[in-house]
Amino acid sequence: MSFRVATLRRWSLHTVVFNFSSSPSPQFQSHSVLHNFLPWLENKASSTISSSLSISNSSYGNSLFASKSIQTGDCILQVPYSLQLTPDNLPPEIKPFISEDVGNIAKLATVLLIHKNLGQDSEWHPYISCLPPQAEMHNTIFWNESELEMIRQSSVYQETIYQKSQIEKDFLEIKPVFQPFCQSFGDFTWKDFMHACTLVGSRAWGSTKGLSLIPFADFLNHDGISEAIVMSDDDNKCSEVFSDRDYVPGEQVLIRYGKFSNATLMLDFGFTIPYNIYDQVQIQYDIPKYDPLRHTKLELLQQYFVPPTKDAKGSKYSVNSFAIKEVKSAGGKGKGVPQSLRALARVLSCTTLQGVKNTIFDFF
């Protein structure tokens, strides 16, 4: 059997940490809409999707709960590929006219919008009607100016601006293609498009089709320390999840979306977690132009500090920056000033070439 790990789709790369407490409580979906969802999906699949999970609400919005005892290693859900929404679901009238430059998130968002506009006539109506409205999403692209001002110094701010500009670019490409088909597929605004892109960005997994919305699996919420992840079983053509622990009936079942920092979770998913073992802070630095040692100092820092592995196009901070993943000290984790920060402070404050050279011996 060939299994692949599916990771929830990322827009780009991020870092920087700031602690937000829990988000406002979501408006709850009506009980009957949620209750009818799994029978509807299983009927569509002509197979059992899950015999051990049920849908309900929690403070995280739609959530999956153990409906009976679950043991470590149990397969808790199987969603056939044929029931997943991908960019391939774009109507053939539109598909050929969408530029190669438009990303998969935008394409899949367009699929969602078409089905949303079709309302009850859409075969996906029961799924679409369970997706959270924009008012329940707290991703930073929905923050107002004064909220964004609070994170202005962080790279999440830059990432938010970048993400918004990417969505705008895709919107301007897709909108004219869509226009002649408004009669059939309805119309959408910039706000609708941004909401749809954020839905896709926060609940679609990378797949052989580029990106897949996996109904039911996408009601699972995130726990950074869970070992349970969404897997792709190409032989059986389905996505599945195996439990990483035992659950008693009524407990919420959680999975790990990816090894994401709080900055990534905030940007792409609209929440953070209090103790995040994958957290990291992006430190940006610059040396004043009037510093006669500027060139030497920059060269040294760029040589010894590892920059982010991937670069987000348009990000200003990626060249002179490095990530701090974990603070270690003699007394244990999470205390003290990280070695790399002390090294940075020392380099920045050097006033002689010899001083800079000594820093190499002391720190690097």
CB of 341 to ligand SAM, least distance (A): 29
**Nearer to ligand SAM among residue 34 and residue 281 (C-beta):** 34
By the rule CB under 6 A, 219 interacts with ligand SAM = yes
270 binds ligand SAM (CB under 6 A): yes
87 binds ligand SAM (CB under 6 A): no
60 part of the interface to ligand SAM, by CB under 6 A: yes
Closest contact distance (angstroms) between CB of 64 and ligand SAM is 8
For residue 317, state whether it binds ligand SAM (rule: CB under 6 A). no
- Which one of the spans 46-54, 213-221, 240-248, 293-301 is the region binding ligand SAM (CB under 6 A)? 213-221
Compare residues 188 and 216 and give the one whose CB is closer to ligand SAM. 216
CA distances from 211 to 54, 206, 287 (A): 25, 5, 41
Tokens of 346: 């020392």
By CB under 6 A, tell whether 65 contacts ligand SAM.
Answer: no
Among 218, 230, 262, 264, binds ligand SAM (CB under 6 A): 218
**Between residue 220 and residue 249, which ones bind ligand SAM under the rule CB under 6 A?**
221-222
Whole-angstrom Cα distance, residue 112 to residue 118? 10
Q: Which of 33, 75, 273, 324 binds ligand SAM (CB under 6 A)?
A: 273
Name the minimum Å distance from CB 84 to ligand SAM.
Answer: 14
Site mask, ligand SAM, residues 7-46, x = CB under 6 A?
----------------------------------------
Please choose, out of 36-44, 68-76, 148-156, 218-226, the segment that lies near ligand SAM by the rule CB under 6 A. Answer: 218-226
Among 203, 255, 262, 305, binds ligand SAM (CB under 6 A): 203
Closest contact distance (angstroms) between CB of 319 and ligand SAM is 31
Contact positions toward ligand SAM, by CB under 6 A?
60-63, 132, 202-203, 218-219, 221-222, 269-271, 273
